[in-house]
Amino acid sequence: MTLPIGNNLKVWRAKFDLTQAQLAEKSGVSRKTINTLERGIYIPSVALALTIAMVFETDLESVFFLIRE
């Protein structure tokens, strides 16, 4: 069974002082997508996850991670 995916998007946005709209623009997606990503409603594709990690100048696992029970 696939483990659920969590994220630190809000933390990283605060570090870079980015609004959801600004992150959306840099990542090439809509603000709604960033919002649903942060809330864990939408799981990003690998390409989008890597793009967001690149925006935050960090590796993928620092932004997205598996939630182990």
* Residues of the shown chain interacting with another protein in the complex, contacts defined by CB under 8 A: 21, 24-25, 28-30, 32-33, 35-36, 39, 41-42, 44-45, 47-48
Q: Which is nearer to another protein, 30 or 59 (CB)?
A: 30
To the nearest 5 percent, what fractions of the chain are helix, strand and coil?
55, 10, 35
Phi, psi of 52 (to 5 degrees): -65, -40
Q: Which is nearer to another protein, 1 or 41 (CB)?
A: 41
Q: Which is nearer to another protein, 8 or 35 (CB)?
A: 35
Rounded CA separation 52/9 (Å):
9
